[in-house]
């Protein structure tokens, strides 16, 4: 079973920030919405960092030498364009020497209102034996994230650990990830879990369209 860490279960400043990104009035301020997503990324990066490997190193100060525990290896940070950019940047503020991967994926509807997930572009370093952190603000059905991960890994790349970080997730989406990724070394970090998922894959109460709220409405 894939391990899931739900950060909302413990009172902290994280829940206050999460409340702000859901608030329809506060969402009117795009800069604040982007910064709140960034702060969520920073906090999640800190939590994920507790699971990573460290090693002792000597640091020379102006007055002497101190042995400290330093991160052994920087992760690879990946996100889905465009909504994930502020969240990704928050992660990058913490893992400031990380390698990065970017993927363009979206849900395409046809005239019968059926949909499919399309992945059209990706750029990624080698992920073999690396720690991969894939972040996306909103997890609805989970299908785009599964397809994104399979596209990143291809046929032969095997990260030693995969962390999936989402601000808000549907319970259906989390169950889909658990079914589809059960054979991978995956840990899921979620800010909050919502129970309702509509027929058009909207999470309720959710937070709306994170990409539009951060960068403005797109032409459909």
Q: What structural domains and CATH numbers belong to the chain?
A: 3-215 (3.40.50.2020)
User: Span 179-202, mean pLDDT?
Assistant: 93
User: Residue 107 pLDDT more than 70?
Assistant: no
Of 77 and 202, more confident: 77
Of 98 and 117, more confident: 98
Residue 192 and residue 38: Cα distance in Å, rounded? 16
Q: Residues 6 or more apart from 75 whose CB is under 8 A from it?
A: 52, 95, 98, 99, 130, 131, 132, 133, 163
Q: How confident is the model at residue 83, as a pLDDT?
A: 87
Q: At what angle do helices 143-153 and 171-180 cross, to 10 degrees?
A: 30
pLDDT tens per residue across span 192-212: 999 999 988 889 999 999 999
Q: Residues 6 or more apart from 22 whose CB is under 8 A from it?
A: 168, 205, 206, 207
Residue 168 and residue 174: Cα distance in Å, rounded? 10
User: Residue 218 pLDDT more than 60?
Assistant: yes
Of 200 and 155, more confident: 200
Residue 117's pLDDT band (cuts 50, 70, 90):
low
User: Residue 87 pLDDT more than 70?
Assistant: yes
Q: Is 81 exposed, middle or buried (0-12, 13-18, 19+ CB in 10 A)?
A: middle
Residue 10's pLDDT band (cuts 50, 70, 90):
very high
Name the DSSP letter for residue 219. P
Other CB atoms within 10 Å distance of the CB of residue 77 = 28
């Amino acid at each position: 079973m894939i391990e899931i860490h739900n950060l909302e279960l413990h009172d902290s400043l994280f829940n206050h920030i999460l409340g702000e990104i859901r608030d329809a009035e506060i969402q009117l301020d795009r800069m604040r919405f982007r910064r709140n997503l960034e702060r969520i990324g920073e906090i999640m990066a800190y939590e994920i960092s507790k699971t990573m490997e460290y090693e002792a190193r000597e640091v020379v100060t102006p007055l002497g030498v101190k042995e400290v525990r330093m991160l052994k290896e920087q992760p690879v940070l990946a996100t889905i364009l465009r909504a994930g950019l502020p969240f990704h940047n928050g992660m990058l503020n913490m893992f400031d020497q990380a390698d990065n991967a970017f993927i363009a994926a979206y849900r395409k509807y046809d005239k019968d209102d059926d949909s499919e997930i399309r992945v059209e572009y990706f750029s990624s370093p080698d992920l073999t034996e690396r720690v991969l952190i894939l972040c996306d603000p909103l997890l609805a059905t989970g299908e785009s994230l599964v397809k994104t991960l399979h596209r990143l890994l291809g046929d032969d790349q095997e990260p030693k650990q995969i962390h999936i970080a989402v601000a808000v997730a549907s319970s259906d989406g989390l169950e889909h990830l658990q079914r589809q990724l059960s054979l991978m070394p995956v840990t899921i970090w979620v800010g909050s879990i919502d129970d309702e998922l509509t027929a058009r894959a909207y999470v309720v109460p959710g937070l709306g369209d994170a990409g539009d709220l951060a960068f403005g409405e797109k032409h459909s």
